[in-house]
Amino acid sequence: YTYDTYPHLKRNPNFKELSPSDIKFFQSILSSNEIIIDNGNNQDDLLPYNIDWMKKYRGKSRLVAKPKTTEQIAKLVKYCNENKLAIVPQGGNTGLVGGGVPLFDEIIISTNNLNKIRDFDHISGTLVCDAGCILEVLDNYLAERGYMVPLDLGAKGSCHIGGNVATNAGGLRLLRYGSLHGNVLGLEVVLPDGTILENLSTLRKDNTGYDLKQLFIGSEGTLGIITGVSILTPRRPKSVNVAVFCLNSFQNVQEAFNISKGELAEILSAFEFWDINALRMVKHHLFQGTNLPLEDKYPFYVLVETSGSNKEHNEEKLHNFMEILMTKGVVEDGVVAQDNTQIQNLWLMREGIPEAGSKSGSVYKYDLSIPLPVFYNIVEDMGNRLKDAGIFGKDKPVTDVFGYGHVGDGNIHLNIVAKSYSPEITKLIEPYVYEWTAKYKGSVSAEHGLGLMKADCIGYSKSQKMISIMKQIKQTIDPNGIMNPYKFIL
């Protein structure tokens, strides 16, 4: 693999290098199966923690700590702070901006072993759990009790709820259930000085002073380590329907979305889109030997999911919606899932895109909030720009450019597949893509975060005053800057 490089970021000499006495301290807190220490010939054990999901970023950490309790984490963090050892908090390591892996020799504190469900109230639907619980494990636990996690994403089999909170992950149903800023009721956080900030509230309403937990939601590990999460979970819908439509223009995608809000209203639970290049890639990598549910000859596809409590009511609404789409000529073709297997098959065309992308090559991912009228233009503009530069096409360094994402949230994922990561390609894409986004007052990070990839890009979407307040907050909570350095705010 070739990894992306960050030559402009230098190791901060104020941070101490790991010494034998540091290792001894870690060993006094952690049992042998809770720690991995570089012994010169166990790189394979450290590698999964040093490399990210996309295989784009690679750090050189020499110690991975996997504590089982908040108290262990508090002791380790306190020691690191006193000794100026830099830390990277890591959950499931599915992040897409290089935030969860070290850049240099930072110590990795992983929540892999912090995975107990602490409490669930079946009347209010409040769930309290350790930060290292895997999203899908939580969802299965809740399914048995008639509830669900108000967040779903393609990485659910690996990502941790703590990682989701730390990135303020959006996912596939944000348009229905809202963001984690609304659903998280409380957090337990180990602060950089080792104190445990206990705020695992299960209250829906609590207007006593500043809502401090909000600072940690989306903080990407720069303010502390989230160790516990209290979250409000909705009832699991009794009836779910999924349909996928083929469309001839992005104008029609917008029209379909508009109609869906009017016709499906309270039962609309997802409105996702992808283009033909994304579909062909998924077909190639994930539908080998089986037929795609739809022909791959239309420029755009949308997936509409409805969910509610009454099957007949939902089906009638979906039927009316489809009739309007057809009569108005907004869609060219479509398919409705008839059972759960078909629902999963339709979702695979959308959820499988990141995996299919990573099987195609080295992927440059841009996660943008852009106003819907110009939403898809960035994909076309970028494709043309790379073609004009002579690097995009058959047997060229860039082999694919495609777009998909959460139309319902105004969030597009622009992906550029290259044979390998290279500074020449990066220079053609960046800062062009960020300037383009800023021109339309969009956001350069809709949901993935800034991480290492966009550590110095916050200014495209936030004012200097806002950035300076953020820096003051960081300085107040983490004066030694040990918590996830080189990321987020430089």
The size of the interface with ligand MLT (CB under 6 A), counted in residues, is 7
The total of other beta-carbon atoms located within 10 Å of residue 22's CB is 18
Cβ atoms of residues 405 and 253 within 8 Å: no
Binders of ligand MLT in range 195-254 (CB under 6 A): none
Binders of ligand FAD in range 304-363 (CB under 6 A): 354-355
Is position 352 an interface residue for ligand MLT (rule: CB under 6 A)?
no
Q: How far is the CB of 177 from ligand MLT (least distance, A)?
A: 15
Residue 245, H or E segment: strand 239-247
The C-alpha atoms of residue 41 and residue 289 are separated, in whole angstroms, by 42
The total of other beta-carbon atoms located within 10 Å of residue 67's CB is 28
**Which one of 46, 131, 180, 398 is in contact with ligand FAD (CB under 6 A)?**
131
Instruction: Work out whether the CA dihedral 384, 385, 387, 393 comes out positive or negative.
Output: negative
The C-alpha atoms of residue 369 and residue 442 are separated, in whole angstroms, by 5
Is position 413 an interface residue for ligand MLT (rule: CB under 6 A)?
yes
Cβ atoms of residues 324 and 245 within 8 Å: no
**Which one of 447, 454, 460, 477 is in contact with ligand FAD (CB under 6 A)?**
447
The two three-digit tokens of residue 456, written as one number: 């110095």
Contact region for ligand FAD (CB under 6 A) — 9-17, 58-66, 219-227, 304-312?
219-227
**Which one of 100, 154, 163, 485 is in contact with ligand MLT (CB under 6 A)?**
154
CB-neighbour burial class of residue 342 (10 A; exposed 0-12, middle 13-18, buried 19+): middle
Q: Tell me, residue by residue from 47 to 66, as one string, x for binding to ligand FAD by CB under 6 A and - for no binding.
A: ------x-------------
Q: Tell me, residue by residue from 146 to 165, as one string, x for binding to ligand FAD by CB under 6 A and - for no binding.
A: -------xxx---xx-xxx-
Q: Which is nearer to ligand MLT, 63 or 153 (CB)?
A: 153
Cβ atoms of residues 240 and 311 within 8 Å: no
Question: What angle, 0 to 180 degrees and rounded to 10, lies between the N-to-C axes of helices 353-360 and 276-286?
Answer: 80
Q: Which is nearer to ligand FAD, 93 or 480 (CB)?
A: 93
Is position 99 an interface residue for ligand FAD (rule: CB under 6 A)?
yes
The C-alpha atoms of residue 227 and residue 69 are separated, in whole angstroms, by 8
Q: Say whether 400 sits in a helix, a strand or coil.
A: strand
Give the residue at shortest CB distance from ligand FAD: 163
**Which one of 59, 221, 308, 397 is in contact with ligand FAD (CB under 6 A)?**
221
Q: How far is the CB of 405 from ligand MLT (least distance, A)?
A: 6
Interacting partner of 413 out of ligand FAD, ligand MLT, none (Cβ under 5 to 8 A depending on kind): ligand MLT
Interface positions with ligand MLT (CB under 6 A): 154, 353-354, 365, 367, 405, 413
